[in-house]
């Protein structure tokens, strides 16, 4: 088992990683909640809810299950979750458990942030991607006009990452999460990136100590940045490396059609290409494509350049109509830079030509 502490201005809290269902039991009894309410999605509940329940008290424990997939991060589902919480009589001393991947973490976290002006919650992540989403306190639902547009910064009381839950993930979901791990490698610097290159060759490597170490290091990168900048006024923006184009692709292709990590992988390659142009230096783009190549990331998204540019302008990092992207000066050295639109356009055209090869 590994333990990390997250330090933010609003709260300090522990993250436990490994075989940690017993830690969950202890943590909950320490909190002495008046009741416990689990939110989960259909897939996770079918596979793992029984196991989770065994680590919880037997009385005053309720659950509400929503359909799997990004579509559940909606106003409608948020409303249904609040209704279920009210009907179960949750009070200010109750505790919410977000049991699932990033979708449930964001949805249940936002329910916790707003139910009776905020009650305690614990993240129990079940995807690799959630090493990113469960840490740092960003919770949100989607608006038809934009992803994650309605939300809050609201930290959990603890993150309890029981790795055996991850063993039922499909290869597609492992790859999606690995996209964010590779991103954390590039943000943190040579040490973690080289460790990934030397230790993670195939999906088969994602077990035991390799998985434990990888998740711990990925979370440490995020924790370090969140500790400096909880509400994204500065360095937290670096976590969006690869996301400006990534989000645009995801939105254009349609959520659920391409995973977040696949889109971010394509976005990181583009971000390095733009960085090479802006800084007029070689940044070894082949190093990233070689790493992504091990896991069959898609390199193509059949989307018109104009539509991608329009989407990128709507990105939360953009302001005054200008596109801002996280660029890489070197591995481990990021910068948020305003990119002239003609540069975006010519770089995207060049990039898309690469897809057609």
Ligand X SMILES: NC(=O)c1ccc[n+]([C@@H]2O[C@H](COP(=O)([O-])OP(=O)(O)OC[C@H]3O[C@@H](n4cnc5c(N)ncnc54)[C@H](O)[C@@H]3O)[C@@H](O)[C@H]2O)c1
Instruction: From residue 295, give the alpha-carbon distance in Å to each of 163, 261, 262, 328.
Output: 21, 12, 10, 23
Residue closer to ligand X by CB (options 133, 275) is: 133
Residue 73 is a binding residue for ligand X (CB under 6 A): yes
Cα angle 287, 291, 296 (rounded to 5 degrees) comes to 135
Instruction: From residue 245, give the alpha-carbon distance in Å to each of 132, 139, 156, 218, 267.
Output: 19, 22, 29, 22, 5
Pick from 176, 273, 275, 347: which binds ligand X (CB under 6 A)?
176
Hey, which residues does 334 pair with through a beta bridge? Answer: 328
Q: Which of 48, 157, 217, 240 is catalytic?
A: 240
First-to-last alpha carbon distance for the chain, in angstroms, is 46
Is 180 one of the catalytic residues?
yes
Asked if residue 200 lies in contact with residue 210, where contact means CB atoms within 8 angstroms, the answer is yes
Question: Residue 324 CB, nearest distance to ligand X (Å)?
Answer: 19
Which residue lies nearest ligand X, judged by its C-beta?
Answer: 102
Residue 211 is a binding residue for ligand X (CB under 6 A): no
Q: Which of 63, 175, 260, 317 is catalytic?
A: 260
Residue closer to ligand X by CB (options 15, 348) is: 15
**Cα–Cα distance, 222 to 90 (Å, whole number):** 32
Question: Residue 4 CB, nearest distance to ligand X (Å)?
Answer: 16
Contact region for ligand X (CB under 6 A) — 25-33, 111-119, 130-138, 277-285? 130-138
**Cα–Cα distance, 127 to 145 (Å, whole number):** 27
Is 42 one of the catalytic residues?
no
Whether the CA torsion 83, 87, 92, 95 is positive or negative: it is negative
Q: Which of 48, 236, 317, 324 is catalytic?
A: 236
Residue 129 is a binding residue for ligand X (CB under 6 A): yes
Residue 168 is a binding residue for ligand X (CB under 6 A): yes
Question: Residue 92 CB, nearest distance to ligand X (Å)?
Answer: 24
**Cα–Cα distance, 1 to 235 (Å, whole number):** 29
Q: Which of 217, 230, 232, 252 is catalytic?
A: 232
Is 236 one of the catalytic residues?
yes
Residue 148 is a binding residue for ligand X (CB under 6 A): yes
Asked if residue 112 lies in contact with residue 120, where contact means CB atoms within 8 angstroms, the answer is yes
**Cα–Cα distance, 17 to 216 (Å, whole number):** 7
**Cα–Cα distance, 185 to 221 (Å, whole number):** 8
Pick from 121, 132, 158, 220: which binds ligand X (CB under 6 A)?
132
Which are the catalytic amino acids?
117, 138, 180, 222, 232, 236, 240, 243, 247, 260
User: Contact residues for ligand X (CB under 6 A)?
Assistant: 41, 43-44, 47, 68-70, 73, 100-104, 106, 126-127, 129-130, 132-133, 136, 138, 148, 165-166, 168-169, 173, 176, 260
């Amino acid at each position: 088992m590994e333990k990390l502490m997250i330090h933010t201005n609003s709260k300090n809290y522990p993250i436990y990683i490994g075989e940690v269902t017993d830690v969950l039991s202890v943590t909950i009894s320490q909190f002495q909640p008046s009741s416990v309410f689990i939110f989960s999605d259909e897939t996770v509940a079918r596979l793992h809810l029984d196991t989770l329940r065994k680590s919880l008290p037997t009385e005053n424990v309720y659950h509400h299950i929503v359909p799997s997939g990004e579509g559940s991060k909606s106003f409608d589902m948020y409303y249904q979750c609040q209704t279920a919480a009210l009907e179960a009589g949750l009070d200010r001393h109750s505790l919410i458990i977000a049991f699932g991947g990033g979708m449930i973490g964001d949805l249940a976290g936002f329910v916790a942030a707003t139910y009776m002006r905020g009650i305690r919650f614990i993240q129990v992540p079940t995807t690799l991607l959630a090493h990113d989403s469960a840490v740092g306190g960003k919770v949100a639902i989607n608006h038809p006009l934009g992803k994650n547009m309605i939300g809050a910064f609201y930290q959990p009381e603890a993150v309890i990452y029981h790795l055996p839950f991850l063993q039922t993930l499909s290869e597609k979901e492992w790859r999606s999460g690995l996209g964010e791990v590779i991103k954390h490698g590039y943000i943190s610097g040579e040490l973690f990136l080289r460790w990934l290159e030397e230790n993670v060759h195939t999906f088969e490597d994602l077990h035991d100590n390799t998985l434990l170490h990888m998740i711990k290091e990925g979370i440490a990168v995020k924790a370090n940045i969140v500790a400096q900048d909880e509400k994204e006024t500065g360095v937290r923006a670096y976590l969006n490396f690869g996301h400006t184009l990534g989000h645009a692709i995801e939105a254009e292709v349609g959520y659920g059609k391409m995973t977040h990590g696949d889109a971010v992988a394509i976005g990181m390659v583009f971000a390095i290409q733009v960085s090479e142009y802006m800084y007029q230096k070689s940044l070894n783009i082949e190093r990233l494509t070689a790493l992504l190549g091990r896991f069959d990331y898609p390199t193509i998204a059949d989307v018109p350049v104009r539509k991608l540019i329009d989407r990128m302008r709507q990105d939360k990092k953009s302001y005054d109509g200008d596109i801002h992207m996280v660029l890489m000066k070197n591995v481990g050295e990021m910068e948020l830079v305003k990119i002239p639109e003609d540069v975006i356009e010519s770089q995207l055209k060049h990039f898309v030509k690469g897809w057609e090869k």
